[in-house]
Chain A
Amino acid sequence: MAVRVAEEWLNICGGCEVSILDIGDQLLDILPALEFVHMPVLMDSKYYGQLGERDHMEIPEADVGIISGGIRNDEEKKIAEEMRKKCKTLITLGSCACFGGIPAMANMWSVDELTDKVYRHCSTTESAATPTENIPGLLDRVYAVDEVVDVDVTIPGCPPSPDMIVEALTCLLEGKPFILPEKSVCDECPAKREKKAAGGDIKRPLQPLDIKVGEPWENTRCFMEQGVLCIGPVTRAGCSGTTVEEGEEKVPRCIKGYMPCRGCFGPIRKGANPLVDMVSSISSIGLDVKQVVDRRALLNRYIGGQNRLKPLPVRN
């Protein structure tokens, strides 16, 4: 019998769903084993019945629930709770659902400050009162899904890779656990390290790197040591995939594209504090942390939920 799947998108950009579609041919292999019973991005199903006849929200029962996106408002919170109730196994898909994601950078401000900025102090729009009618109320901050309901499996990544989605679903179908190793992106990175920076200032993201496209990796110096902020040291490994073609090397996803890691796989282990660890790691190779622009946001770029980013306390 096919496994029933329900999918929900909460506080999202839609990229995670594109990744599901991006699975491509492999999707055809696993599709017969799956039956999508609820998926707002692809099919029409109304929470309160097709004609709005129900008096409470309902999502069909499913074996597997997939949630992308964090939780920002009342409605999303309700949906997450209903998903938990109806799904035997709940998966969070993507960095937004797992850690709050990009939108959780807003957790550095209170909701009042945010709405004030957006509705009244934005130079390109006209001022207006904050809308209140017919829209769900904002929560005090962006929450990762696991702060609101229990989560069984996490698939991080912004966006998550199609291969990893297949792998996680296959594990589930075969009754095996899907757990990423507690190692860092650096542990899987082939760039050459000398344990100290090449010297000079920390570069801005678009300044050129010294890279030799197509050459073996031992000829490419670690980006961080070249002075480009690379969050690999404090980010969980996994984006280089579990399988590689014959004769190919395992390379983290962004590094493969000659870009530094931005940290989308989140902290290496629960309870780690990447901001603190990254500051230590930058200074330990002799770079000047002070030169990292917008340090707090940048080192928490995808992980502002779970209380990592919050408004600064008011000093007395």
Chain B
Amino acid sequence: MPEDSFEPLIITFCCNWCSYAGADLAGTSRIQYPASIRIIRVMCSGMVHPNVVIDTLTKGADAVIICGCHPGDCHYLEGNLKAEMRREGIELLLDDLGLEQERFRLEWVSASEGQKFAALMTEMTDKVKALGPSPYSTS
């Protein structure tokens, strides 16, 4: 597939309390970001088990982003710290699956950071476009 026609599929898990509100703010403020992002709302970044990330990446998505509240702000106190603890394991698993570690990202986005959310999504889309489709991609 020629690089310019490749539209990546990026699954973004946003926690309900901060990041989803941040994404919403990006929308209501009419900030543009690429359509390759599909947002899935979860209650907390800490509930996205590595199994879900690995399944997503081996069943069609080109990349996965988990967005949660900033450390200290998680509405379940330590969910985002849990997510952070799992980060390295997920990156190693990507190695084991023959995927680039850049296809996974964990970021903190607060409810007031619509701008940051949009910038992050644009940056990730560019990066994944440069990497090309995932070898597990189904599209």
- The residues of A with any CB-CB pair to B shorter than 8 Å are 273, 275-277, 279-280, 282-284, 289-290, 295-296, 312-316
Contact = CB atoms under 8 A, between A and B. Distances in A.
A282 B90 CA distance: 12
A276 B135 CA distance: 19
A314 B99 CA distance: 9
A290 B49 contact: no
B98 A283 contact: no
B34 interface: no
B52 to A, nearest CB: 10
Given A289-B89, A313-B136, 18 more contacts: A273-B51, A273-B54, A276-B51, A276-B93, A279-B92, A280-B50, A280-B86, A280-B89, A283-B89, A284-B85, A290-B88, A290-B92, A295-B92, A296-B96, A312-B97, A313-B99, A314-B98, A314-B135
Contact of B135 (A282, A289, A296, A315): A315
Nearest to B54: A276
Contact of A315 (B51, B93, B98): B98
Q: How large is the interface on B (under 10, 10 to 19, 20 to 34, 35 or more residues)?
A: 10 to 19
B contact face: mostly helix, strand, loop, or mixed = helix
Contact of B92 (A289, A312, A314): A289
Interface of B: 49-51, 54-55, 85-86, 88-89, 92-93, 96-100, 132, 135-136
A315 B131 CA distance: 9
Contacts of A279: 50, 89, 92-93
B50 A315 contact: no
B110 to A, nearest CB: 26
Contacts of B132: 316
A275 B96 contact: yes
Contacts of A312: 97-98
Given A276-B50, A277-B51, A283-B86, A313 B98 contact: yes
A272 to B, nearest CB: 8
A283 B81 CA distance: 13
A164 B50 CA distance: 34
Contacts of B49: 280
A283 B88 CA distance: 9
Nearest to A277: B51
Nearest to A273: B51
Q: Which 10 A-B pairs have the closest CB atoms?
A: A313-B135, A312-B98, A279-B89, A296-B96, A313-B98, A283-B89, A276-B51, A276-B54, A276-B50, A316-B132
